[in-house]
Amino acid sequence: MSKQQVIILGSTGSIGESALSVLSELADSFDVVGLAGGTQWQKLAQQARYWNPKYVALADTSHQQSLKAQLPDGCQLIDGIDTLTRLVESVDCDCVISAVVGAAGLPATLRAVELGRKVALANKEPLVIAGELLMSTAERTGAKILPIDSEHSAVFQALQAGLQEDVERIVLTASGGPFRDATESELENATVKDALNHPTWSMGPKITIDSATMMNKALEIIEARWLFGFESDQIDVVIHPESILHSMVEFCDGSVIAQMGTPDMRTPIQYALTYPRRFPCPASRLSLTDLGQLTFLEPDTQRFPSLRLGHRVATEGGSTGAVFNAANEVCNDLFRKGSIGFCDIVRLTEEVLGAHDRVDHPKLDELIDADGWARREVESMLATSPIKKVN
Ligand X SMILES: NC(=O)c1ccc[n+]([C@@H]2O[C@H](COP(=O)([O-])OP(=O)(O)OC[C@H]3O[C@@H](n4cnc5c(N)ncnc54)[C@H](OP(=O)(O)O)[C@@H]3O)[C@@H](O)[C@H]2O)c1
Q: Please identify, using beta-carbon distances, which residue of 329 and 344 lies nearer to ligand X.
A: 329
CB-based contact 57:71 (threshold 8 Å)? no
Residues within window 245-304 making contact with ligand X, judged by CB under 6 A: 265
146 is a site residue for ligand X (CB under 6 A): no
128 is a site residue for ligand X (CB under 6 A): no
User: Helices 215-228 and 342-354: crossing angle, nearest 10°?
Assistant: 40
131 is a site residue for ligand X (CB under 6 A): no
Encoded one letter per residue, x for contact with ligand X by CB under 6 A and - for no contact, window 344-383 reads ----------------------------------------
Q: Where are the alpha helices (DSSP H) in the chain?
A: 14-25, 41-51, 64-69, 83-90, 106-114, 125-141, 150-159, 184-188, 192-195, 205-213, 215-228, 266-274, 288-291, 306-316, 320-336, 342-354, 364-384
**C-alpha angle 134-100-343 in degrees, rounded to nearest 5:** 95
Q: Please identify, using beta-carbon distances, which residue of 61 and 380 lies nearer to ligand X.
A: 61
Tell me if residue 125 falls in helix, strand or coil. Answer: helix
Class of residue 307 by CB neighbours under 10 A (exposed 0-12, middle 13-18, buried 19+): buried
Residue 101's nearest CA partner among 150, 39, 175, 146 is: 39
13 is a site residue for ligand X (CB under 6 A): yes
The one among 54, 117, 124, 311 contacting ligand X by CB under 6 A: 124
Q: How far is the CB of 106 from ligand X (least distance, A)?
A: 10
123 is a site residue for ligand X (CB under 6 A): yes
Q: How far is the CB of 208 from ligand X (least distance, A)?
A: 8
Stretch that binds ligand X, among 70-78, 87-95, 120-128, 376-384 (CB under 6 A): 120-128
How distant, in Å, are the alpha carbons of 76, 178, 296 from that of 90?
Answer: 11, 42, 47
Class of residue 208 by CB neighbours under 10 A (exposed 0-12, middle 13-18, buried 19+): buried
Q: Measured at CB, which residue is nearest to ligand X? A: 13
Distant-in-sequence, close-in-space partners of 39: CB < 8 Å, separation ≥ 6: 58, 59, 60, 63
Q: How far is the CB of 40 from ligand X (least distance, A)?
A: 3
The one among 7, 15, 19, 209 contacting ligand X by CB under 6 A: 15
The one among 26, 42, 89, 201 contacting ligand X by CB under 6 A: 201
Stretch that binds ligand X, among 36-44, 134-142, 162-170, 343-351 (CB under 6 A): 36-44
203 is a site residue for ligand X (CB under 6 A): yes
Chain residues that interact with ligand X, rule: CB under 6 A: 10, 12-16, 37-40, 59, 84, 99-101, 104, 122-125, 149, 201, 203-204, 206-207, 265
